[in-house]
A and B are shown apart, each in its own frame.
Chain A
Amino acid sequence: MIPRPPLAPPGVLIEEALACDAAFFAPKEDYVALAGALKADGFEMCVDVCGVDYLEYFDRAVPEGVVPTRFEVVAIFLSLSRRQRVRVRVQAGNDAPRVDTLFHVYPGTEAPERETFDLFGILFDGHPDLTRILMPEDWEGHPLRKDYGVGHVPIQFKEAPGPR
């Protein structure tokens, strides 16, 4: 089993959590260590990293001891040998969200973390190349944040070059 038992959701044993589709909540400072433990434990692949902006949902269901913050980073791990998936949810912070990068444990998280940074503005400490990936380089704001409006944004594409 996982050497360092992480916080499981209320009422769910770790064995059960592994068997079903439940998530673990990792403290921010233990996040990378937990990923390393998972990797050593047979979770060969980090399938995805994504962010969630819980702007209005500070009262969402989290286990005891976890302080919900506005931004959450969700990492999904897959074990090929055990045929299991595990989801790890990390509270990233409110105003200046940042977590450590998984890049040095799972090199495949480079692009998903860049995407999360681009669309949510969550910083990943230690990431090799934290630049925008989907949006243009000079774009302002992070579009998937909940306070980033839909349909009221002036079009920010570059100025038309005029007749050639």
Chain B
Amino acid sequence: MSDLTRVADRPERLMGETSEGAQELTRRIDTSTDELGREVGAVLRLDGVTLDPRQVDYERHDDETMIINMGPAHPSTHGVLRLMLELDGEFVLRTKTVIGYLHTGMEKTGETLSYVQGATNVTRMDYLSPVINELSYSMTVEKLLGVEVPERATWIRMLMSELNRVSSHLVWMATNGMDLGSTSMMIYGLRERELILAFFEKTAGLRLNLNYVRPGGVAADLPDGWQDDVEVICNTIDERTYEYDQLLTGQPIFRNRLVGVGSITAEEALALGLTGPLLRSTGVPWDLRRTMPYLAYDQVDFDVIVGTYGDNFDRYAIRLNEIRESIRIVRQCVEKMPKGDYRSQDPKVTPPPRARIGESMEALIHHFKLFTEGFHVPAGEVYSAVESPRGELGCYMVADGGPKPYRLHVRAPSFTNLQAIPLLMRGGSISDAITMISTVDPVLGEVDR
């Protein structure tokens, strides 16, 4: 009968079951100097100067401040992010993120899947930008293989990535709106995203985890009449971004919540390894599509949006304007889409056409081998990166000559960007903490992998 006693009656057991030990925020006297420095957001280093973080907030004792826990099941933490905050009244002194609640060992799984199956795995990491995940993975495999991707496949990839970027930013607009109390924006953002997901479904057969970009090309050609669909998407979303402007950009309450809140400098952003809108908001014009072009980004015309102050409003404005820039790229893709193959004709990576399988035994065997054993990739190690909506999405791969990657590591932008949270939170109020999480835009599937 002892099992039937209420858990709440045994707090020590409850503590034992939920505690993450040293991963959590502890009292100041139990925290080492370096760790304390991190938790109060000390980032920059100065030669010859040592600043003791214990001198920060020294007038506050441990019994005057309060350590509270936020998440991992908090609706505004964008998933299962858990924050531990040390509060002085309503103001945040120290922050520590506790992550790993969504860890499913995808890098380990990636080592047991063949290169053909791998795209199915990585597409589930950053679930808001699946195409870009697959693209990063496929480009890394192609770099190891030395396979040339046909021009049409390149442009299809670019079209799909940009549509995906728009849909990802729309979800961000929606959730950010909701975090700030604008529930209308929530509905509008998801409504517009639905247009893009419907197009994805028409093209790839799936709405979210597409498995569309694969090593050697893409899974299927664009459907008949795709130009009209894309045209409708572009026109609708382009027009609606101006409605968002009217709804949010100039609205005094919205501006007061964002302008001047959570500023970071370019030096801090670089030191922390931040990429994407977080880095660009500080005025650093770093966008891999422009600075280290991949696919055919050097053949399209678009602007890299940068901010000035590195505050929340800059990050909002950057994402809103990146939607417009992506729409611009999508329009150019429609215009310039070349004819040709949508996947490489290298028989090593591409299965024979469906019609051949019915009539040729060799084609059938080839098809079977490709999907059971997979293709062999020459030994080597390689890193390649693309610009995801959240920053630099890199893929480091070690191949040992077999049909499966020996090591697959994904450099997830959200994982690194989360390190900015203690810095952003420091000194702000607890209500702004929600906005900070939102403008960092972490996708926990990618953080925990």
* Residues of A near any B CB (own CB < 8 A): 21, 23, 44-48, 50, 52-53, 57, 60-61, 74, 76, 78, 80, 83, 85, 87, 103-104, 106-112, 115, 119, 128-129, 131-138, 143-144, 150, 158-159, 161-164
Contact = CB atoms under 8 A, between A and B. Distances in A.
Given A21-B382, A83-B292, A162-B4, A47 B392 contact: yes
B32 A48 contact: no
A53 B37 CA distance: 32
B7 A46 contact: no
B17 A158 contact: yes
A133 B23 contact: yes
A134 B99 contact: yes
Contact of A131 (B4, B22, B286): B22
B107 interface: yes
B48 interface: no
Contacts of A128: 32, 34-35, 37-38
Interface residues of B, number: 59
A76 B411 contact: yes
Contacts, number: 130
Contacts of A108: 271-274, 416, 419
28 contacts: A45-B273, A47-B394, A48-B396, A52-B381, A52-B407, A60-B379, A61-B379, A74-B381, A76-B394, A76-B396, A80-B284, A109-B273, A112-B415, A112-B416, A119-B107, A128-B32, A128-B34, A129-B35, A129-B38, A131-B22, A132-B100, A134-B100, A135-B100, A137-B19, A138-B21, A143-B105, A161-B7, A161-B13
B400 interface: yes
A106 to B, nearest CB: 7
Contacts of B43: 107
B394 A48 contact: yes
Interface of B: 3-4, 6-8, 13, 17, 19-23, 32, 34-35, 37-38, 43-45, 99-100, 103, 105, 107-108, 112, 143, 270-275, 284, 286, 291-292, 379, 381-385, 392, 394, 396, 398, 400, 406-407, 409, 411, 415-416, 418-419, 448-449
A110 B13 CA distance: 32
Nearest to A108: B273
Nearest to B38: A128
A109 B379 CA distance: 28
A20 to B, nearest CB: 11
A111 B89 CA distance: 29
Contacts of A21: 143, 382-384
Given A48-B411, A136-B100, 14 more contacts: A23-B381, A47-B275, A50-B396, A52-B407, A74-B396, A80-B284, A80-B286, A83-B292, A106-B271, A107-B44, A134-B448, A137-B20, A143-B108, A164-B8
